[in-house]
Chains A and B, each alone.
Chain A
Amino acid sequence: MTAAHGTTLLEVRDLSKQFPGVLALQHVNLTLATGEVLAVIGENGAGKSTLMKILAGVQTADSGAILLNGAPVNFARVKDALAAGIALIHQELNLADNLDVGANIFLGREPRRYGFIDKRAIHRAAQKLVDSIGLDVSTRTLVNRLPIGHQQMVEIAKALSVDARILIMDEPTSSLSQRETEHLYAVIRDLKARGVSIIYISHRLGEVKEIADRVTVLRDGKNAGELAKEEIHHDAMVRLMVGREMTRKRLRVQHGGAQPILEVRGLATPAYSKHTIDFTIAPGEIVGMAGLVGAGRTEILEALFGVTPALRGAICIGGHTLRPRTPREAIDAGLALVPEDRKQHGLVLEMAVRENISLPSVRRDQHRGFLNRRAESAICGGAIAQMNIKTPSPRQIAMLLSGGNQQKVVLGKWLAMKPKVLLLDEPTRGIDVGAKREVYGLMEELASQGVAILFVSSEMEEILTMSDRVLVVHEGALAGILPYNELTEETVMHLATGGHRQAAAV
């Protein structure tokens, strides 16, 4: 190590970058010291990814400077950044999973002997690296045999193999288990001790608190503030990210007496054909659906919405009984679904925001088969305003929006359809805190207007804070229904993991 701990290694000055219609970065500054773990946080679309891509040479800045050890550098390609010792570990891992660990670590830089790849040299060097980060695998193991956490470690080993002095980790824990995350922390601490600097991007504020020496917050492509080690608290971070205090006050309502708007009777999904599901939802009620991954929650929503028609049973909406065979039948009956995978099922990514928003409603608003452009514009404008969708224009392609804004477009699609029952599948997955807040706000607003809401979530906090009642699903069957006053993490988990509901059934 040439530089001592604590000296400034990297400095970003006044960096700006524009994409069609969006100012991704505006005069952003950032410093990183040797051996420091700097967390960069911000809502989706705040510019974190763009900044990191510029640092790693994936993209180039429009203006501004990057100084490495005080000397300006200019990375036109990823190779340049790597040569300068900056390596980016993408959120989606970039490994060739049909090759072994050693081959991945030296991919494209294979040592040669007589013109052939020198496998022995590769494995000798790779094993050393792998061991150095405490990863207990043979470098001859195929990458696709490794769990995700280990693959992440291989990425880190790969970065170290080029003597990276700065390691950028983009959401490194997003698919890691708790144990794997702990191991990652250990590796980060070790790297830090070896003088490697780390830029750590995460949505998980708990992690940031655990690992970061300092926090830089970005908001709307600008610097929003910085927190020193001792200032790192959940609320402080959220305040800087959102630019306002997060508050939640929701009047919980008991809907026991009301006439239900949705009644599900004897519903059997193809995935769990033996079990039948029965429940009701009252107008204005927000019902959460909890359960472990694979418990069959998505399948229930898809059966209700006619995506995968139910085998048996029926649903009754506002007195109208049916078993939807297509989404169209469900929509006509007054249902709407915000699917879990918005890119696959929620949006036509290559189409404009306006056309996405109006997709369900153009049929209703048609003039004898022709599009009603006026109604379309009105609906689109309304949705953009109500959902606070950040888009330069209604004609922007949906693909170019951030995840949170895409999700708001999906929600906006259904506003104009005035659904009686809104089904949401993991409505806040992969979106930032600000957008989350807006989604919650909309759910409450719709509920106050009498819409019944059924949402699936794997986030315990979301289930606990948003639900008036919770349906807990276990292995395709309804394990129990918890009213608001019985709602705790323990009661939900108890049912979700196969425990029985004691006492007063619903």
Chain B
Amino acid sequence: MKKTLGIFGLLAVICAFTAIANPNFMTAYNIQNTVRWTALYGILSIGVAFVIMTGGIDLSIGSVVGLIGSMLAWMLTVKGVSVPLAVFIILLTSLAIGLAHGLLITKLRLQPFVVTLCGLLLYRGLARLLTDDQNLGFGADFEGLRTLATGSFTVAGFAIPVPFFLMAALAIVAGIVLNYSVYGRYLLALGRNESAARYSGINTDRIVILAYVMCSLLAGFGGMLFALDVNSVQPSGLGEFFELYAIAAAVLGGCSLRGGEGSILGVIIGAAVMRVLYNSINILRIPTHMEFAIIGTVILAGVIVDELLKRWVEKRRAAARAAAQ
């Protein structure tokens, strides 16, 4: 909770700063866009958060996004597969990818970094092989399906993008699983001490496998939304570096790369920080080539301030306790 507060503070500061510097930041249009992108990237971050909480990592997310996005466009536009069947196939494929990762990592005891790094290459290659490296788009078709990514519901005069609802639903489910289910408790326990979890009768392999399955499934679902949103799928490019955005959001949101720690709300806010930063740089009319430098600096500064604040609070508390004695 405390960690979430820190990252929320960073988000608030960036938003306030940008809104003051350029009121266009607060237009409904811009907020809708930023919310939509946050939702799309946030879905990937929720998935990777589970893997990070086991103490693992998934570097293949971006390539899964690319493969699934390419598959969807390819099946719908080239092969003429029906929409329900295509969606079913891509979800099944993502599930199989996660299952393969999980099995290799638990049963064969391969390192998650290696397994998913190879996945990163493999799925990108498969995407390009499948589509003959051709760009694919939905053109003006599949309006209904595309509503999933580009549509919105108007609530109190404000059009809320559909992906936001999707992300919110996923986040709520993920939060409940993490905090109120036996699975979540086991996940947190094994992330901190896998051996102790095993000695307590936890089937650790199954927990880890499930985490990778969820991660790939959400990456695949995200890949579908990205393809539908962008409406033009470049098999060699769609999703590149998305794993890093997802991991960065999860870690900003309080997940420890050592495992066993994390909050879903924090992860979502972490994803929002990343997106708002990108958005703010454009809104503030800063030339694009400076964006990486700015994002790196702001996040680092935020993390440093958060750490210093925490120490200061801790010191004050200790002092207060001493005084109370």
Q: State yes or no: do A and B touch (Cβ within 8 Å).
A: yes
Given contacts A348-B192, A350-B192, A351-B192, whether A360 and B200 have CB atoms under 8 Å apart is yes
Given contacts A16-B325, A355-B189, whether A345 and B182 have CB atoms under 8 Å apart is no
- Per the bound structure, the CA–CA distance linking A359 and B197 in Å amounts to 8
Are the C-beta atoms of B325 and A18 separated by less than 8 Å?
yes
Which residues in A have their C-beta under 8 angstroms from that of B185? Answer: 355, 359, 362, 371
Given contacts A355-B189, A359-B189, whether A345 and B196 have CB atoms under 8 Å apart is yes
Q: What is the minimal beta-carbon distance from A411 to any residue of chain B, in angstroms?
A: 13
Q: What is the minimal beta-carbon distance from A424 to any residue of chain B, in angstroms?
A: 13
Q: What is the minimal beta-carbon distance from B307 to any residue of chain A, in angstroms?
A: 18
Are the C-beta atoms of A345 and B325 separated by less than 8 Å?
no
Which residues in A have their C-beta under 8 angstroms from that of B197? Answer: 348, 359
In the complex, residue of chain A having the shortest beta-carbon distance to the beta carbon of B258 = A350
| Residue from A63, A330, A371 having most chain B Cβ neighbours under 10 A | A371
Which residues in B have their C-beta under 8 angstroms from that of A370? Answer: 180-182
Q: Which of A350-385 contact B (CB under 8 A)?
A: 350-351, 355, 359-360, 362-363, 366, 369-371
Are the C-beta atoms of B201 and A363 separated by less than 8 Å?
yes
Are the C-beta atoms of A363 and B182 separated by less than 8 Å?
yes
Q: Does B282 contact A (CB under 8 A)?
A: no
Q: Does A123 contact B (CB under 8 A)?
A: no
Q: How many residues of B contact A (CB 8 A)?
A: 24
Contact of B189 among A326, A331, A348, A371 (CB under 8 A): A348
Which residues in B have their C-beta under 8 angstroms from that of A350? Answer: 192-193, 260-261
- Per the bound structure, the CA–CA distance linking A389 and B110 in Å amounts to 40
Given contacts A348-B189, A366-B182, whether A359 and B200 have CB atoms under 8 Å apart is yes
Are the C-beta atoms of A351 and B199 separated by less than 8 Å?
no
In the complex, residue of chain A having the shortest beta-carbon distance to the beta carbon of B195 = A345
- Per the bound structure, the CA–CA distance linking A429 and B265 in Å amounts to 42
Contact flags A322-365 to B (C-beta < 8 A → 1, else 0): 00001110111000010100001111111100010001101100
Which residues in A have their C-beta under 8 angstroms from that of B79? Answer: none
Q: Does A165 contact B (CB under 8 A)?
A: no
Q: Does A307 contact B (CB under 8 A)?
A: yes
Q: Does B165 contact A (CB under 8 A)?
A: no
Q: What is the minimal beta-carbon distance from B318 to any residue of chain A, in angstroms?
A: 8
Which residues in A have their C-beta under 8 angstroms from that of B138? Answer: none
Are the C-beta atoms of A328 and B196 separated by less than 8 Å?
no
Q: What is the minimal beta-carbon distance from B259 to any residue of chain A, in angstroms?
A: 10
Q: What is the minimal beta-carbon distance from B52 to any residue of chain A, in angstroms?
A: 15
Q: Does A413 contact B (CB under 8 A)?
A: yes
Which residues in A have their C-beta under 8 angstroms from that of B200? Answer: 327, 359-360, 413
Q: What is the minimal beta-carbon distance from A154 to any residue of chain B, in angstroms?
A: 33
Q: Does A62 contact B (CB under 8 A)?
A: yes
The contact sample of 17 A-B pairs, CB cut-off 8 A, is A62-B322, A63-B322, A63-B325, A326-B198, A328-B202, A345-B199, A347-B193, A348-B189, A348-B196, A350-B261, A351-B189, A355-B185, A360-B201, A362-B185, A369-B181, A370-B182, A371-B182
Apart from A344-B196, A362-B185, 12 more pairs, CB < 8 Å = A16-B325, A62-B322, A326-B203, A327-B199, A328-B201, A328-B202, A330-B201, A344-B193, A346-B196, A348-B196, A349-B192, A371-B185
